[in-house]
Amino acid sequence: MSNKKLNIVLAGVANVGKSVLFNHLTGLHQHIGNWSGKTIEKAEGTLYYKGYTIDVLDLPGIYSLGTYSIEEEISREYITKEKVDFIINIVDSTRLETNLLFTLQLLSLQKPVILALNMIDLAKEKGIDIDHQKLEEILGIPIVPMVATKGKGITDALNRGIELLKTQKPKPEIKKELTAKERADLSHQICQKVIKITKPKKISWPERFDNITCHEIWGYPAMIVILVLMFLAIFRFGNWLSSVLEEISSGWQIGWESIFGISIFVSLSWSAVESTIALIEIALPYIIPFYLLLFLLEDWGYLARVAFLLDNLMHKIGVHGKACIPLMLGFGCNVPACLSCRIMETQRERFITGFLTTLVPCSAVTVIIMGLVGKFVGIGWAFGLYLFAILMIFGLGKLASKVLPGETTELIMEMPDYKFPNLKTIVLQTWFRLKEFLYIAGPLVIISGVIIEGIYLAGWLPAISNFLSPITVKWLGLPAITGILLTFGILRKELILVMLATLIGTANFAQVLNPIQMITLASVSMLYIPCVATIAALIREFGWKRAFGITGFEIGFAILIGGTVYRILVGLL
Amino acid sequence: MKQTSLINLRPGEEAEIISIFGGQMATKRLADLGLTPGTQIKLLRKAPLWGPVEIEVRGSRLVLGRGLATKVLVKYVE
């Protein structure tokens, strides 16, 4: 230990508070973050402790070190091949017996392991008394009781780890690799020896609550109420905040021009500033509150119940219940939603889920639907469009699951107990999602804003609208100007509305569009293409070929649907 | 001793796993979660409309897809 540099690894199954521990250890000095228990990428961070520089690696939340998934393979490779000074294996004390199954596997790799008994306070509350000294004797490794959310036991774990390095204690008792059956039996025996149940099991309030939220009939109305309340709260808050922000920034362009004068470069640089403002105007009012509420539900334990209730429905579109989590993320922004498809187990399901998330109306599409249809046609029609989008998602999901080879994997998921949400976890998760949005969408949005301004200044806009008029005017029944809107909407969808206002010189869209045209334009905007940032995310996750396959399909599909909607509405109204 | 599929248990009933007829992947994954022959389980609830089931096993709660649950053969605990 001459340079006093250590490499440690955090390992554990999903939902044991591993991310919380990681955040405590490394603060914000980390490269990549993810959902608790859904950490797929290598999340690394650095910590300085007692003169040591400690690099901490957060392994994905996995149940096994076998080769069931990519994450398991990565984890096993890393532990066996890299220089690992010690491993902190964090377990949920209230589920010791199942969690020990993974610990036993970990021990067979013959690396120094510290076992952290997390949520020891919850276990005590539940009347589960764990004799950790006895457990230490049996396993032959240091055992540390921990309450990660309150920061208890964390320095103990580090101290014991460093101590272990100095003393070179004998390796753990588990010598060889055991079969799953042997591990299960051993874990059971160990728990019989170290666990004492002190309180008789009584029905606690979370269980009572579960009887409603997972009830075969009442579970569904409860879910609808919770989700609708959440969406309504975000719409109202978002509308209010975005109008405030618009007011604040309304005079800035004139200010910019009065400082720098009027020239091509000033216009181009202003468009970069304007795009940055647009990013903020979508992130602050919509994306941030949405993710805060969603992660509140997740940390509380409710999203797992949604997955339980919707599993059957999701099976109909070729994926299992967990897919509803990326789909719900999509209502905020499609970029993090696409990236979160990694929680699905197989490539096939990741792809179907990824494809479907790009059809979910994101915050920017919400701006169009609410600002155009909601404002000028009626709120009922706006909600109708949402319903329409959901029906399309189901229809296309069903189609995709028929076309793509392979079978739907069955849902296997641990049901977390309801617990009091941890504010720090929620804020950090929101921040990580927001970072994905800013890193991937940010540069693309700003660059493309400048490009549009360039095209506008070059006087090429009429050429675009003429070129597209066979589709926009003849087939979709829209004014020729929409060709420009739909072209630039690819860059970021709310541009469709922003540019329309700029081009016609007023925000009273009723002057150029009749209600039928508004609905047609909104439904095409909703379906027609993932925006550039989402395409970039798709390329990252699924490769060029599939990303462009999805894009091409959605353009064709939206044009087909848009024209059909137009004709039906003309016939009906 | 009466044998049945896990799916036929009623909420609150306890049983012991005899065997699992799933694919290799699913069987292995269930084993990693501690669902091996001889394990005691308790059915907590079933989601309606052919949805998943929630069981209690080794002090944890686990949700299994209905299709998978039908492949778990159990016997009632006396």
Interface pTM, i.e. ipTM = 0.85
The residue ranges of every structural domain in chain B are: 3-76
- As a whole number, the mean pLDDT across chain A is 85
Nearest CA in chain B to A13: B33
At A262, give phi and psi (nearest 5°). -115, 115
Query: Which pairs with CB-CB distance under 8 Å and at least 24 residues apart come from A174-181?
Result: A174/A104, A174/A107, A174/A108, A174/A139, A175/A108, A176/A108, A177/A105, A177/A108, A178/A104, A178/A105, A178/A108, A180/A101, A180/B28, A180/B31, A180/B32, A180/B36, A181/B31, A181/B36, A181/B37, A181/B38
Contact at CB, A320 and B65, closer than 8 angstroms: yes
Dist CA B15 CA B9 (whole Å): 8
Residue A440: is its pLDDT beyond 90?
no
Q: What is the pTM of this model?
A: 0.80
Query: What DSSP line would sit under B24-61, residue for residue?
Result: HHHHHHHHHTT--TT-EEEEEEE-TTT--EEEEETTEE
Contact at CB, A188 and B58, closer than 8 angstroms: yes
Indicate the CATH number of B3-76 among 1.10.357.10, 2.30.30.90, 3.40.630.30, 2.60.260.40.
Answer: 2.30.30.90
Find which of B16, B33, B66 to mutate to test the A interface (most A CBs within 10 Å of its CB).
B33
Contact at CB, A415 and B61, closer than 8 angstroms: yes
Query: Min CA distance, B28 vs chain A (Å)?
Result: 8
Residue A239 confidence class, pLDDT cut points 50, 70, 90: confident
Residue A30 confidence class, pLDDT cut points 50, 70, 90: low
Task: Name which residue leads in pLDDT, A494 or A389.
Answer: A389
Least confident of A93-107, A494-508, A534-548: A494-508
Q: For each of the domains in chain A, give its residue range(s) and CATH number, in order of start.
A: 5-197 (3.40.50.300), 219-406+432-572 (no CATH)
